[in-house]
Every structure is written in structure tokens, then in C-alpha cells.
Chain A
Amino acid sequence: MPQAAGGRGRAIPSLRPSQSRFMADSYCVHRIIEDPEWCLIAVPPLTELCLQHIVQNFTNNPVLDRLPPEDQRKVLARLPTGLPLTVTANLISDEDYWKRCCTDRWQVCDISNHGGSWKRMFFERHLENILKCFVPNTTDPDQVLELIPLCRGYVRKLEVDQFLPPVKEDQKEERDDLSDSGSDLEFGEVCIHHYDLRALVPALPLLEELHLTYGVKECGMNFEWNLFKFTYQDCCNLAAAVKMCHNLKIFKLTRSNVDDDKTRLLVRNLLDHPSLVELDLSHNLIGDKGARAVSKLINCSKLEILHLCNNQISNEGAQALAQALAKNCTLTSLNLRLNHVEDEGGEAVGHALLTNTTLKSLHLGGNRLAEPTALVFSQVLTQNSTLTCINFSCNPIGPDGGKQLLEGLRCNQILTEFDLRLAEVDEESEYLISQMLWANRDAARLQPLLQQPAEPL
């Protein structure tokens, strides 16, 4: 027994010399008989050799489907990650392979952002990279178009946070900051449209999410206003592309200098979109007209979530939105952070919420809301039974407004989050409010627990 064990143990170290023996001359070969350490394990089976060959020639002759499952696994484990996508894209569905591809290529891989699929992640990020590095008029558009048939079955989400402008005497224009800021509008008319998404987006039938930012990342000291120019033509192209993309659910266009006209253009194309659920236009330049357009969109689509934070919406725009909100029955979340809504708009929104029964979350932080709005919202809190989350942070509501809100909250058992930080509310009421919120939260937590045992009865 110990001898056998020893022999078995020695079999593994004997691999090395036996491997070297394959390349050795005949002298070594005839010594096989004499070699006491030699054993059959050292000889790789023919299947192994075949698989090795398949792996080596996979580019020319991709044989995978005809292999038995075990061999398929072996081949996939050995395939190099640098194989051309034309070979692998539609042939290999094995997640391990694509995981290897992803990890080889990117250091950080968060698979949860891509629906838990490594393949999807690979193609989405690959496409994103290409789009990010696409320079109009210089890069070959076929580079993208060639990729479409390969990735059309996998890409569901596109997150492009950079669009490069066409190369145009960038180095020549070395001007001062002064002249730069003044002249960028004039120059903007002449140049430069970004990559036209109309060629790509409709060709991806599964696309559900589109996150776009028209700008250049890490420009550093090469900053130019032109780099962040979102032209009207770009907007037209984008709007047309989005209109043709019927499965789109989430559309985000942030930090792209979208002004009222462009908003209207976009909204016009998004009216009656069959599946759009979330629209994010935050960090733009949308004014009251744009807000009015968006308010029109609210009632002509299935929109549930709307982000308009960090724009220039003032009371008129807020009133328009409030009007829409009063009639609407789909929107569940509205974000108007960092706008100029002020009390008039806030009151309007509050009045709308008296009748609205769908909105659950409302963000009005940083809108210079004062006591009158708080007064309206105390009434809202008593009457509304759907609103669960309100954010009034960074508003000069004042201690009286805080007390009003506290009074309103006493009769409410639904609200679970009520942000009143930096709202000049006195500590006591803030504390009481937080107490009540905790109670509501507990009730909300127990609600399903109570309902569950009640069901069998």
C-alpha cells in the first residue's frame, strides 16, 4: 500500500520529464521501457491533443457545437480572450469565457449594472468604449456598424458619458479664456456635430436603457466650450433615434446643455412613446418652456420617473408641471432639485398633490421654498395617502413652516421619508417628525407581515 501510494505520488512529478520526452530524440523514446518512472498518465490522450488543436485554430475553424459538453467546457476554458468578436460573438454563450474577457480588459467589473450577464456586459462596454472614442469624420463609421450584427442580441443598455467632437484645428486655437468664453457661440454654429446615433440605436432591438452625456471627460487644460456643445442637429438626430427605439424604457440625457428648444424637440419625439418609463434630464439648462413641454409629455406617455434636477425651472414651469401632475395617474417620482421653483411653484405642486393619487416620491430640495409651501404641504400630508417620500432639504422653510408640517404629519401614517435638513426647522419639530417617520416606517414594515398571516384566513 505505501509503495503504491508512493508510486502514485511520484507520477505527478514524472510529468515534467515525460513531457520533455516528447520533444526528445529517439534515444529517449527507446528508454521508455527502461524508465521506471514512466506511466501512461504522462501521455496526453488523443482527445486532449485534438482539443488543443481546436483551441489553437479556433479563429479559422471554430468547432464548438459539435463537441460533447465536457470537451466544450475544456475548449472554452482554454480559448484566448483576444479572439475576434466575429468568431466568438454568436458562437460562444458560455459566461465563464466572457467573464475572462471582461476581467482581462477592465479592472472594475460590476456585473449588476448589466443584468448579471458577463456577455452582455462585455458587449455593452465594448460598444460604449467605441462610441466614447468615436471621432466624427475621422473614425470609420463601419467600426460601429460592423459591430451591430454581433452585439445586437446582447446590448440592452448603453451608457455613454462622452461624445468627442470632430477634430478641427484644436491645436491651432490657443486663445485666452476671455475670448474663448465670448466667441464659442459663434464658432459653435459652424462646426461640429457629434456621432449620429440614428445609425446605431434603431439597430439594437433589445435596447432598454440609454444614458448619454454630450461632453468630453478629463479635458483638463484643453478645455473649450465647444467640447461641450450639444448642437441642435445632434438633438434632432438623437430625438429621431430615440423615437425609433421602441423598447426604450429609461432615457437619460444629463450634463449636456439641453435648453428649452432642444427639450421641446426631444419631447415632441417622445410623445406617445410605447415603453418609456424613466426620463432623466438633470444638470441641463431647461427653463420654463422646457418644463412646460415636459409637463405635456407627462400626460402623453407612460412616464413614471422624471428627473429634472439642477435646471432653471422657475415658478411658471413648476406650475405647468403641477397642472400636469394633478391630472396624471402614472408618474410616481418627480425630482426638481436645485431649481428656482420658489413658493409659487411649490404651492402649485402642493395643490396638485391634493388630487394626485400616484406620486410617491417628490424632491423639491434647493428650491427656495418658504413657509407658504409648508402650509400647503401640511394639508397635503393630511389628505394624500400615497406619498411616501418628500425632500425639502435646503429650503428656507423656517421654524413655523416646520411646525405646520409637523401638524400635517400627525395625521399621516404613510410618509416614511421626509428630508428637512438645512431647512431652518427647529430641532424639536425635526426630532418629532423623525419620530413619527420611524413609527410610519415600522408600520409600513409590519404591514406586509400582518397581511401575510391574514391571507390564509
Chain B
Amino acid sequence: MSRGAGEESAGPRWRMPGLDHETQPGSDPAEPGPEERIAARRRRIAARLDAQRRQALGEIEEPKEEAEEEGEERSSHKQVEESRQKLAKLLFEGTRMVTDIQVAADLRETQRRAEQAQLKLQRVEKLENEARSSADKFEEITSKWALAKKMTVPQELWQLLNQQQQLCTQLLEEKNKLIGELQQELKNKDEQYVQTIKKQSDDIHLLLERMEEQIRMMLKTYRHNVHQVEKAFELERRELLDNNRKKWEEAIQALNTKELEYLHARVKKVEEFEKQLNQLRVQYEEEYNSMKIHLETDVQNLERQLQHMKAVYLVNQEKLEYNLQVLKKQDEENTIIRSQQKRKLNRLHSLLSNLRTKLVKQEKQFREENQSLAADCERITGQCKEVQRRMRHFAASDAEKFMKVWLMNEEEAKGLMRKALDADRIIHTQQLGLPWEEPHYWFLNNIGPFGHYKAKRMATKLAAEVLTESTSGAQEKKEEKEEVGSGEGQKENTAKAGDTATPLQNISRKTAKRILELVSDESGFLIERKLLGPLCALGKHERTLLRLDSIFSALEIDSEDDLYQLVDFFLKYKAKEGDLSQSQGSPGGEDIADLGEDRTDGESSAQSDELKSSQRPLDSLLSVCIHADDVLKILKAFVQDFHKLREEDSSAKEVLQVRDSSKDGEYWEALAHVIPEPTLKLWDALAVALEEYYNILTRRANLLAEAAVLQQQNSELSLMLEQFITSGVNSMLLSPPVHQMDLNLPCPEEPR
């Protein structure tokens, strides 16, 4: 729509830019009217189109559009747009003008080509025609050649030949003509070519000219436009500057007025404040004065105080200085002491550590020593025990040996004694002829060493003795007496042995027997079952004996002592029970303790003798009282105590076996002096006499022996002489020795 309107309005004014150089409209500055108007119109159209397009795009962009419109209204943009349009137009026209030449050349070329083609066609046609006609003519000529062969008449032939020649020349001429035409054409073409070349060079020159001109023009217009654009920009800038300056000035004025107002307000305020300040100043001054007076008094007071304090301070200072000095000194001393102490401490520390190490070492050493010593101790105890054991063994063996040696020596001594007595008797009876009476000495009957206990009888034997005692009490007594009698000589030596026996013996046989019987009856369970059968077959007495035997073996009662102890235990038990039952108030515990003591003391103490002797009357009383039921209890208690007793016994026994050898010397001395002193003197005198007698006798004997030897020699010599004589040798000799020999040799045999 708009475009159409524009076209219509612009239509008549448009001039077609001609091909020619002269008609070109390029000189824009000369006639800017129409083009500028066109440009403006076009711009408007474009703006309108733009607006339409933007509306079509949507209302969102409207604010921007406004801004753009605003921008577009600016003169500079207008100017830029204008110049751009103008330049584009100019460029287009310029290129068009330049290319016009090419287009024109193209057109000419096409036209030329068209002409050329046409001419070519014509030429070809012409040539063809000519060729055809010439061919016809050539045929005519050739046909006439055939005719000529038939010709015989020379004139005719000549005529014909002339004709032919004419025809040929015609043909040739035609050809030549054609050639000439063609050459003419060629020349024309050449000329044309030269012309076209010229034309083209002209064109090129024109082209160059136009190009140069256009360049020049473009430069000019560009420069012009740039100038204009710059101007427009400058103008715009100036306007903008003016506007801004105006705004600026307005703003500054406003600012100034405002500042003035502020200043006034400020001044007012300042005045007000000054007034207030004055007021306040006066007020404060008064306050200040009163305060000052008050403070001055205060100051005086304080000064006084200060002086006082100063005095105090001085005093204090001196004191403190003194103190300080003292303290310093003390401090010094302290430091010295401390250093010393430290040194000491260090030393002690080192010492301590040394000692510790030493201690550790020592401990170790001692421990080792201890261990070694313990080991030693053990070893030594072991050795000791071993030694003891050995000692015991040796003691036993020594005792045995001693016994044997004793016995042997005694035997020997007795033999010697007997010999001596025999000799004495012989001397008395045979030599002296005196009646001899055998002396009776106490030691003659003694056999064995004095300290040797009599062999302990076995318990069973004793039991049997005890049992049998009732039946043959007298016999028993006798035996005992004998026993005692045998030990009479020893008296005190055997006193102890006697002691041991005496209590038992002192216990009435009856009670003992009774006890044993009770035991055998009540503790039948101790007997082995096997024995029970054969026991029945035996008599009562034997049965009890056997039973007792097996019971003792079960109770490990081996020796006489054990049996005594058993019986004793029974009695004591009874006594104790009796005490308990008789006098409940009496301290039975002491008695029991006494009993224990007694038991430990054993038979060696005289106290026990007393006790036992005191108990003796009780025994008889109590023996009856032993109840069969109590036997087991007593046995039990006995078995418990028995082991203790035994151990004590064993230790006691060893001690007891140290014997007394004081009497031995006497004994042996007595043995040695079995021959009394006067007899010995007698013997000496007798010996002397006998010696003499003996000497005489020996002399006689010697002489006898000599005589015997001489006799033997004599006999031997006579034998030899005989042998010599009998042998032939004698004859051979001048002077046979036989002659010189005494032939009285055989005489020694004669005395015999």
C-alpha cells in the first residue's frame, strides 16, 4: 500500500540512468533534492513497516519501541541513516555504471555472435552453392573430355580445347573470386577485430575512468557524509551538553538555596545553643566554686594526712629497708645453704644410688648366698641325718662290736686267767706241792659289758609268763628272783632296768592277767579270721595266748615295754576314771596332764615311781572295776597315744644307750690281778730258780746236741771212708788216704 503510494508519487521524477557517460546521475552534491526526498520517504516507509512488524510481533516490545523511536528521533541517527542511504544508493549506482560497460560489451558480443552465426550460415550456403556450381561445371568439363577423345579433327579439338580452357579459367576465376571474397571478409574481420580491440580498450579505459571517478566520488561523499555525521553528532552533543548544563545549573541553584536555608537554620541553632551554654556555664561556675572550696579543705586535710603518711612511710621504709637487708642476707645465706644442700643432696643422691646399686647387688649376693646356704643347710642336714643315721648304725655296730670284742677279750682274759689259775694250781700242786684252792671272784662269772641291757623279752612271752604266773606263781617268782639275783652284783647298773620291770611286776599279777584276759576276750575282732577255727580246738590258756599274740601283732605291740605300757595305760585310765567318779571336784585335768607328763617322763623319773607306787593300792581296787565295755575305748585311746609314746621312746632309747665305762678299768684290772701279789713273788723266786735250773739244763742239752752232731759227723765220715775204700781209686793212689785216716769214725753212733 504504502509502497504503491510512494511509487506513484516518485514515479514521474525518476530518471533512468543511461548507459552513456553523460547521462549518469552520480553527481549527488549537485542535485541532492530528489534523492534526499526519496531517501526520506523510504525511511518513513521503512519506519512504518517496522512499526507494523513490531505490532505483529506483539505489544511486549512497546516500551522498547518507544525508546527506539525516541532514539530515532535524534538528529544524529537521522543523519547516519540518511548518509547510509545516500551512500548505498551511490554505491549501487556506481557499480551499476561500471558494470554497464560489461553488460554493453556482453550485448555487443551476443549481437556479434548472432551476426557471426548468420554470416557463417550465409557463407556456408554460399560455399555450398559455389561448390555445387563448380562441380557442375567440372562435370561439364570432364564430360567434354570424353567428347574430346572422340574428336579426330584437330581444329575441332583445338576449339574444344579452347572451350575447355575457357571453362577452366572461368571455374578458376570463380574460385579465385570466392577466395578473394573470403579474403576480403577476413580482412574485414581483421579490421573488425582491431576495431573491437580498440573498442574494448576504450571500454577498459572508460571502465578505469569510471572506477577512478567513482572512487573519487565515493571518497568525497564518504568524507562529506562523515563530516555531516560528525557535525550532527557534535550538534547533538552540544545540545545534550547545553541541556545537561542547564540541568546542572538548575540543580546547583536549588542546592545553593537549600544550603542557604540550612545555613540560616544552623545559625539560629547556634545562637540558641550559645545561650544555653552561657546559662549552663554560669550554673556550673557556681557549682564549681562551692566544689572548689570544699575540695580545698579536703586537700588540706589530705595534705596533712599525706605528711603523716609520709612520716609513717619513712619509718616504714627504714624498717623495711632494714628488713630487706636482713632478708637479703638471709636470702644469701639461704642461697648458700641451699646450694650446699643441693650439693649435699646431689652427693647423697649419688650415694643413695650407689648404695641402692650396692644394696641390690648385696641383696642379690645375699640371696644367692642364702640359696647356697639353704642348699648347704639342706645338704648338711641331710649329711647330718646321714651322719646320725650312720652314727646310730655305727653306735649299734660299735656296741655290737664292743660287745663282741668285750666278750672275746673277756673270753681271752678268762682263758688267760684260767691258764694262770691252772698254772698257779699246777705250780702249787706240782712244783710246790702245796694244796691249791680255787679263788672265787665276782668278776669271774661276769659275761659281757656292764651297760648292756638284758635282752628284752617279747611281749607275747611276757604275756604268756604273766598268764602262766597264776598257775605257777612261785615258779615265776623264783625265776624273777634269779633274774634279780643275777643282776645283784650290778646293783645300781641294773637299777633302771629293774625300775622298768618293777612297776609291772609291782602291778599285781592278777590285775595284769585280768587285763590281758579282758583284752583277749574283748578285742577278738582284731584276730584274723583264719585263726579262729584252729583256736577253738586249743585249750583255754593257749587260746588266750594265741589271741593275745594276734592282737598284739595288730596293735603293733612288739616288745615288753609296749605291753607294760598297755597295762599301765589301762590302769591309769581306770585310775583317772575312778578319780573322776570319786572326786568330781578334784581337778582331773591336772591329773591327766600329770599323766601325760608321766608318760613322757617315762620310767626314768623317780616321780613316776612315786605316782605309781601311790597308785598301786588303787590298782588292786580298780582292777576289778575295769569293765569289759571300756576295753575298746581304752584300746582306742592307747593306739592313739601309742605312736607318740613310741617316738619318744626311740629318742629316749638312743640317749640311754650311752654307757658308763668307769667300771671297766676296775673290772679288767681285777681280771688282770687274778693272781695275788704274794703268789707272784713266789712265782718270781721260782722263776729265778727255775731259770737257773733251766740254764743248767740248756747247757746240758747243748752239750748233748753237740755230742750228737759230732757223732753224726763221725758216722758220716766213716761212711765216706768206707765208700772211698771200696772204690778203686784208693788203689791207684800212692798213698791212699785210708791209711792216714782214723778208722774210729763209726763211734758216734755208739753213744746213741
Interface residues of A (CB under 8 A from B): 177-178, 337-338, 365-366, 368, 393-394, 419, 421-422, 427-428, 430-432, 435-436, 438-439, 441-443, 446, 450, 453-454, 457
Contact = CB atoms under 8 A, between A and B. Distances in A.
Given A438-B42, A439-B3, A443-B49, A394 B16 contact: no
B103 A338 contact: no
A411 B321 CA distance: 124
B415 interface: no
Interface string B93-131: 000100110011011011000100000000000000000
Contacts of A419: 99, 103
Given A422-B104, A422-B107, A431-B14, 4 more contacts: A394-B106, A421-B100, A427-B16, A435-B6
B326 interface: no
A403 to B, nearest CB: 14
B106 A337 contact: yes
Q: Give the 8 A-B CB pairs with smallest separation, nearest first.
A: A394-B107, A366-B106, A393-B103, A366-B110, A394-B106, A431-B14, A421-B103, A422-B107
Contacts of A453: 64
B263 to A, nearest CB: 50
B42 A442 contact: yes
A432 B42 CA distance: 14
Nearest to B10: A435
Given A435-B7, A453-B64, A366 B46 contact: no
B11 interface: yes
A443 B50 CA distance: 9
Contacts of A338: 106, 109-110
Contacts of A337: 106
A455 B46 CA distance: 21
A439 B103 contact: no
Interface size classification for chain B: 20 to 34
B11 A393 contact: no
B306 interface: no
Contacts of B104: 422
B38 to A, nearest CB: 9
Contacts of B208: none
A247 to B, nearest CB: 33
Given A338-B109, A442-B46, A446-B50, A431 B16 contact: yes
A443 B46 CA distance: 8
Interface string B1-17: 00100110011001010
Given A421-B100, A453-B64, A436 B106 contact: no
A443 B19 CA distance: 29
Contacts of B45: 439
Interface in B26-51: 42, 45-46, 49-50
Given A439-B45, A453-B64, A428 B109 contact: no
Given A427-B16, A428-B11, A431-B16, A394 B103 contact: yes
A441 B110 CA distance: 31
A178 B190 CA distance: 12
30 contacts: A178-B183, A178-B186, A337-B106, A338-B106, A338-B109, A338-B110, A366-B106, A366-B107, A368-B110, A393-B107, A394-B103, A394-B107, A421-B96, A421-B100, A421-B103, A422-B19, A422-B103, A422-B107, A428-B11, A431-B11, A432-B7, A435-B6, A435-B7, A438-B42, A439-B3, A439-B42, A443-B49, A450-B50, A457-B60, A457-B61
A406 B643 CA distance: 163
Contacts of B19: 422
A81 B53 CA distance: 62
Given A338-B106, A366-B109, A436 B100 contact: no
Interface in B52-72: 53, 57, 60-61, 64
A365 B3 contact: no
A179 to B, nearest CB: 13
A326 to B, nearest CB: 27
B730 to A, nearest CB: 165
Nearest to A340: B113
A422 B102 CA distance: 11
Contacts of B46: 442, 446
A423 B107 CA distance: 10
A368 B60 CA distance: 53
Question: For B3, B45, B60, which residue has the most chain A Cβ atoms within 10 angstroms?
Answer: B3
A436 B3 CA distance: 8
A416 to B, nearest CB: 10
A326 B439 CA distance: 192
Contacts of A428: 11
A431 B186 CA distance: 43
A430 B110 contact: no
Most buried by B among A365, A431, A438, A457: A438
Nearest to A441: B88
Nearest to A181: B186
A453 B61 CA distance: 10
Interface string B520-550: 0000000000000000000000000000000
A422 B96 CA distance: 12
A435 B3 contact: yes
A394 B106 CA distance: 7
Contacts of B61: 457
Given A338-B109, A366-B107, A394-B106, A430 B100 contact: no
A419 B102 CA distance: 12
A160 B367 CA distance: 122
B457 to A, nearest CB: 142
A441 B114 CA distance: 36
Nearest to B107: A394
A248 B11 CA distance: 50
A428 B42 CA distance: 18
Given A431-B11, A439-B3, A365 B103 contact: yes
B326 to A, nearest CB: 82
A424 B3 CA distance: 25
A169 B327 CA distance: 139
B59 to A, nearest CB: 13
A28 B151 CA distance: 122
A111 to B, nearest CB: 20
B110 A394 contact: yes
A432 B46 CA distance: 17
